[in-house]
């Protein structure tokens, strides 16, 4: 365990000092970024105020961008402020790739750093659809005002895509000490947009996240340096470096030296030490951070996949599932009735317990298959009186997954999914 | 063979953790089973009494029943009656308009919530109705209801009004002389208005029966986060009345079950549902539902409007093992008695009681041996178990047996009532199609029974 911890520190050191692999993209910088931009919308039902209970009584919009290749999205944390202000419930967050009208995916909250106005989200991307590759992360340390280089950004002001560029005018800000000040004007919905620079190979490196505008004419933009997002996304760098390292024993010798070096630097530059500590804690948690998605499959099963950010011993070995079905019925007037409560389906003879069927080579994805769901739903339909039937005879399925790591039961994961089966087929 | 449960899971899941891993008794593996279930018979009238007014609330405890009355603070009072004779044993003025009454299952202490000109108060009385203490709410509560949470705590649901949101509060009554409103847990969803609330202290879950829409929600009290339950908005502009819910929390069940259980009367859809909250999955599971089809009194189909919505018209009472269940309505002189058949997780209709007038409240003792119906006009009628169950059951016993067998095999017939109706015939057809045998229960019920038992065995 100690060697793993040191390895992570070493990896971080490399992440802070090495130059990442050159981008293979040859497109203009804004086009490279646009493929990784998302138009984020949030709706929710307020529990206080004048619109209590209205499903879309509160709304918010922002820009976000993909980091890593697992569907993670970084954006500004104040995207959630309107919902927080009215204590909204039943939040629905959606991401549209490359802007309004693009592929639309539901989004889940992962983690946040409210003090520096950053939040990490994750798009629930369907099986078979590859997430965007994610933008490469740069470093702000070498950047100075004197360089006079272009700082680029792009995002969505309302539904309009707006690319722009400007200059760095201060590595800080009087009102928001952790933010840098750019001479650049952005619209309200552009909060969360990436700020990036062009690298020598024609690619782009993200060096910050748009926080807000300031100045007399809103002609100044505050940027949160990308390093402040390390507690949220530092593991992506570590993961990249892990893939490049082959010999652990050789690394450990380097680790001793680099750890000492980092410690010495930390004494002089506390922010680096702080970041390392953050990442260390975060990586330990991330080893047990699983994200889940489920989908109906044409063979009548449900496929459930978990993903994690770092491989290792902690894998989900088996799951026990609650699959609740609500068969739609017709009332005496012939109108649809959606039952208030779901009925649990019996899916096997083993208490709805299923072993993992697949684990990818890196230990980052595990798959489960729940067979016979279509048949169980059809049976439920046949024994439901006044069932509506038709192509969509069920309301969304209520799925609860109880994961087990070896003998240890983890917290139940609730999900919903549409019963996308052909109910005209016989089972 | 695998073992994946820890000790606390084993306690909650019974024997499932070693091999079967099946958390719900209603879905347990079914081996050859003889359907020997016999529901308790219809309760029979034993006594009647005339009260000066219709009831606001009614609660049974041991040999006594407690009735709260009054539309003004001056009229507000509580009566203690003998359950057997319905004779008034004690009476006390309240000085407030009572909204609900609750009797502690631990020591018989009586709690009343109500309001005077401005304040909402909880009064604490001894079993003899002597005053012990009281506490005022810092805010006014609209149509508040009480439920016992265990550990000396009471949960309060607040309906809310057009001007004020609903709320959920907890009161510590461990010191009856000085009850106190606790600062937590608080539940943000309660702002939507609460017809009734329950706090399962063993699980840390708050259950809300919302007043503005027919829904039951389970909320993690520690995180103030909904973990289960429907919260759909009404689709039509017509306001829907909330559910009527009879709840048994995890520490209140006497049938061996540990997960909270809810009987729910949905008068909008005319359904009686039995729902369990499964802590293992943190999900609500519909075990069974039936269509009661209560006989409504002509011209009585009004609604009860409050500031924030409708009040439920359904009336429900249950013994703690669900062996005796009463379902009624403010608009029907019929009370239907059901019994839970635990082997099939289904409801059996035992029969109907016809009341002399429209009821205002129903109550059953915890053992199901006594019941009380109080009419809106103030008439109180006592009921008690009498005679053999078989004599009072409606329908054909053989058909009832057929319905039990089909239900246990996973072919629900709706309510088990001894009548060969459309749902029973549909379930028979499904069973035939699956098993590849021919049943003809309309012509040969005994032959059909033999055939199904043959398949089971």
In this predicted structure, the answer to whether residue A271 has a pLDDT above a threshold of 60 is no
B230 vs A340: CB contact, 8 Å cut-off? yes
pLDDT at B327: 97
pLDDT at B81: 93
A249 touches chain B (CB under 8 A): no
| Residues of A with Cβ-Cβ distance to B266 under 8 angstroms | 340
In this predicted structure, the answer to whether residue B10 has a pLDDT above a threshold of 70 is no
Residues within 8 A of B (CB atoms), A 325-344 only: 331, 337-344
Residues within 8 A of A (CB atoms), B 156-175 only: 165
pLDDT at B28: 39
Residue A389 or A284, more confident: A389
pLDDT at A371: 95
**Mean pLDDT of the residues in chain A:** 81
Of the candidates A224, A207, A210, A128, the one whose C-alpha atom is nearest the C-alpha of residue A172 is: A224
B134 with B179: CB under 8 angstroms?
Answer: yes
B182 with B199: CB under 8 angstroms?
Answer: no
In this predicted structure, the answer to whether residue A292 has a pLDDT above a threshold of 80 is yes
A47 vs B189: CB contact, 8 Å cut-off? yes
Residue-wise pLDDT for A20-37, tens only, equals 333 333 358 888 899 899
pLDDT at B308: 45
Structure token digits, residue A178: 């952790």
B273 touches chain A (CB under 8 A): yes
In this predicted structure, the answer to whether residue B265 has a pLDDT above a threshold of 80 is yes
Using a 10 angstrom Cβ sphere, with 0-12 exposed, 13-18 middle and 19 or more buried, the burial of residue A113 is middle
| Residues of A with Cβ-Cβ distance to B279 under 8 angstroms | none
Structure token digits, residue B428: 């028979």
Rounded CA-CA distance B343/B350 in Å is 17
Q: Where are the beta strands (DSSP E) in B268-333?
A: 271-278, 283-290, 304-305, 310-311, 314-318, 325-329
Q: How much is the average pLDDT of B204-223? A: 92
In this predicted structure, the answer to whether residue A333 has a pLDDT above a threshold of 90 is no
In this predicted structure, the answer to whether residue B376 has a pLDDT above a threshold of 50 is yes
Q: How confident is the model at residue B329 (pLDDT cuts 50, 70, 90)?
A: very high
* Min Cα–Cα distance to chain A from B21, Å: 5
B21 touches chain A (CB under 8 A): yes
Residue A69 or B122, more confident: B122
Q: How much is the average pLDDT of B175-181? A: 95
Of the candidates B415, B414, B439, the one whose C-alpha atom is nearest the C-alpha of residue B429 is: B439
pLDDT at B412: 86
Which of A66-80, B2-16, B305-319 is predicted with the least confidence, judged by mean pLDDT?
Answer: B2-16
Q: Torsions phi, psi of B19, nearest 5?
A: -130, -50
pLDDT at B455: 81
In this predicted structure, the answer to whether residue A246 has a pLDDT above a threshold of 50 is no
pLDDT at B33: 41
Residue-wise pLDDT for B183-198, tens only, equals 989 998 898 889 999 9
Partner residue facing A322 (CB), from B214, B232, B281: B281
pLDDT at B164: 77
| Residues of A with Cβ-Cβ distance to B21 under 8 angstroms | 320, 350-353
Partner residue facing B191 (CB), from A47, A343, A385: A47
Neighbours of A255 (CB within 10 A): 21
Structure token digits, residue A70: 């697992």
Rounded CA-CA distance B50/B81 in Å is 12
pLDDT at B419: 92
B192 touches chain A (CB under 8 A): yes
Give the ranges where A184-229 is alpha helix by DSSP (H).
none
**Mean pLDDT of the residues in chain B:** 84
Q: What is the DSSP letter of B357?
A: S
Residue A405 bridge partners (DSSP): A408
Q: How confident is the model at residue A255 (pLDDT cuts 50, 70, 90)?
A: low
pLDDT at B109: 95
pLDDT at A277: 53
A207 with A138: CB under 8 angstroms?
Answer: yes
Q: How confident is the model at residue B27 (pLDDT cuts 50, 70, 90)?
A: very low
Output the pTM of the full model: 0.68
Q: How far is CA A403 from the centre of its chain?
A: 20
A341 vs B27: CB contact, 8 Å cut-off? no
Q: Which residues of A310-320 are buried (b: 16+ CB within 10 A; e: fewer)?
A: bbeebbbbbbb
pLDDT at A7: 40
Residue-wise pLDDT for B51-108, tens only, equals 888 888 888 888 899 999 988 899 999 999 998 899 999 999 999 999 999 999 889 9
In this predicted structure, the answer to whether residue A286 has a pLDDT above a threshold of 80 is no
Q: Which residues of A222-248 are buried (b: 16+ CB within 10 A; e: fewer)?
A: bbbbbbbbbbbbbbbbbbbbeeeeeee
B273 vs A48: CB contact, 8 Å cut-off? no
B51 touches chain A (CB under 8 A): no
| Cβ neighbours for B75, distance < 8 A, ≥ 6 positions apart | B53, B69
In this predicted structure, the answer to whether residue A279 has a pLDDT above a threshold of 70 is no
Residue with tokens 């669900």: B322
Rounded CA-CA distance A41/A95 in Å is 7
Residue B91 bridge partners (DSSP): B79
* Min Cα–Cα distance to chain B from A107, Å: 18
Rounded CA-CA distance A137/A203 in Å is 11
Residue-wise pLDDT for A128-151, tens only, equals 788 898 998 888 988 999 888 899
Residue-wise pLDDT for B330-364, tens only, equals 889 999 999 998 888 899 999 999 999 999 899 99
Q: What is the DSSP letter of B332?
A: B
């Amino acid at each position: 365990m100690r060697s793993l911890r040191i390895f992570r520190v070493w990896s971080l050191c490399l992440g802070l000092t090495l130059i990442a692999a050159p981008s293979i993209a040859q497109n203009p910088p804004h086009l490279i970024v646009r493929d990784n931009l998302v138009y984020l919308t949030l709706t929710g039902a307020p529990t206080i105020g004048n619109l209590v209970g209205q499903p879309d009584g509160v709304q918010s919009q922002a820009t976000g961008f993909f980091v890593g290749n697992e569907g993670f999205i970084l954006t500004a944390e104040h995207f959630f402020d309107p919902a927080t202000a009215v204590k909204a419930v039943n939040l629905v967050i959606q991401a549209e790739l490359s802007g309004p009208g693009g592929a639309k995916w539901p989004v889940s909250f992962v983690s946040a750093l409210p003090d520096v106005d950053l939040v990490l989200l994750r798009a629930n991307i369907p099986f078979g659809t590859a997430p965007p590759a994610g933008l490469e992360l740069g470093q702000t340390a070498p950047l100075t005002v004197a360089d006079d280089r272009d700082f680029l950004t792009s995002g969505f002001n309302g539904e309009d895509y707006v690319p722009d560029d400007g200059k760095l005018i201060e590595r800080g800000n009087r009102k928001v000490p952790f933010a840098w000040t750019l001479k650049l004007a952005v619209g309200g919905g552009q909060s969360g947009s990436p700020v990036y620079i062009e690298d020598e190979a024609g690619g782009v490196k993200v060096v910050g996240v748009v926080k807000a505008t300031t100045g007399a004419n809103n002609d100044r933009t505050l940027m949160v340096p990308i390093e402040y997002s390390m507690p949220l996304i530092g593991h992506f760098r570590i993961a990249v470096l892990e893939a490049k390292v082959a010999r652990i024993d050789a690394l450990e010798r380097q680790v001793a030296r680099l750890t000492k070096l980092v410690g010495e630097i930390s004494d002089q530059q506390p922010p680096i030490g702080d970041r390392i500590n953050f990442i260390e804690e975060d990586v330990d948690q991330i080893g047990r951070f699983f994200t889940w998605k489920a989908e109906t499959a044409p063979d009548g099963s449900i496929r459930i996949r978990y993903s994690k950010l770092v491989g290792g011993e902690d894998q989900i070995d088996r799951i026990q599932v609650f699959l609740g079905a609500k068969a739609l019925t017709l009332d005496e007037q012939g109108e649809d009735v959606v039952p208030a409560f779901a009925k649990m389906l019996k899916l096997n003879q083993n208490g709805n317990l299923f072993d993992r069927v697949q684990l990818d080579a890196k230990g980052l994805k595990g798959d489960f298959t729940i067979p016979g769901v279509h048949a169980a739903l059809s049976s439920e339909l046949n024994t439901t009186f006044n069932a509506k039937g038709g192509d969509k005879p069920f309301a969304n399925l209520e799925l609860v997954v109880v994961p087990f790591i070896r003998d240890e039961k983890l917290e139940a994961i609730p999900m919903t999914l549409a019963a996308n089966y052909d109910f005209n087929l016989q089972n | 063979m695998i073992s994946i449960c820890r000790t606390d899971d084993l306690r909650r899941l019974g024997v499932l953790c070693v091999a079967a891993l099946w958390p719900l008794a209603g879905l347990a593996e079914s081996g050859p089973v003889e359907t020997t279930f016999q529901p308790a018979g219809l309760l029979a009238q034993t006594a009647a009494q005339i009260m000066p007014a219709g009831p606001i609330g009614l609660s049974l405890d041991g040999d006594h029943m407690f009735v709260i009355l009054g539309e003004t603070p001056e009229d507000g009072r509580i009566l203690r009656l003998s359950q057997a004779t319905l004779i008034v044993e004690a009476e006390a003025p309240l000085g407030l308009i009572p909204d609900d009454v609750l009797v502690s299952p631990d020591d018989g202490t009586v709690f009343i919530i109500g309001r005077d000109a401005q304040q909402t108060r909880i009064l604490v009385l001894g079993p003899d109705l002597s005053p012990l203490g009281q506490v005022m709410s810092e805010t006014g509560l609209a149509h508040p209801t009480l439920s016992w949470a265990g550990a000396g705590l009471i949960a309060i649901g607040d309906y809310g009004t057009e001007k004020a949101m609903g709320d959920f509060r907890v009161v510590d009554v461990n010191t009856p002389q000085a009850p106190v409103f606790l600062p937590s847990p608080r539940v943000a969803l309660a702002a939507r208005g609460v017809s009734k609330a329950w706090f399962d202290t063993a699980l840390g879950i708050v259950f809300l029966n919302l007043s503005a829409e027919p829904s039951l929600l389970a909320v993690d009290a520690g995180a103030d986060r909904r973990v289960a339950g429907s919260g759909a908005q009404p689709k039509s502009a017509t306001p829907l009345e909330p559910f009527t819910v009879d709840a048994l929390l995890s520490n209140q069940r006497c049938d061996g079950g540990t997960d909270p259980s809810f009987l729910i009367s949905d008068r909008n859809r005319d359904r009686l549902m039995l729902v369990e909250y499964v802590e293992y999955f943190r999900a609500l599971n519909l075990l069974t539902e039936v269509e009661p089809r209560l006989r409504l009194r002509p011209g009585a189909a009004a609604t009860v409007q409050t500031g924030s919505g409708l009040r439920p018209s359904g009336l429900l009472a249950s013994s703690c093992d669900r062996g005796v269940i009463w379902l009624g309505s403010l608009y029907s002189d019929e009370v239907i008695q059901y019994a839970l058949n635990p082997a099939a997780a289904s409801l059996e209709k035992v029969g109907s009681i016809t009341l002399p007038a429209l009821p205002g409240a129903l109550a059953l003792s915890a053992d199901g041996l006594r019941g009380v119906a109080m009419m809106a006009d103030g008439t109180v009628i006592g009921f008690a178990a009498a005679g053999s169950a078989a004599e009072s059951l409606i329908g054909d016993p053989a058909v009832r047996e057929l319905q039990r067998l089909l239900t246990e095999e996973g072919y629900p017939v709706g309510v088990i009532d001894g009548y060969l109706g459309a749902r029973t015939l549909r379930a028979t057809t499904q069973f035939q199609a699956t098993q590849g045998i021919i049943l003809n229960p309309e012509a040969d019920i005994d032959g059909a029974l033999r055939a199904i038992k043959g398949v089971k065995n």
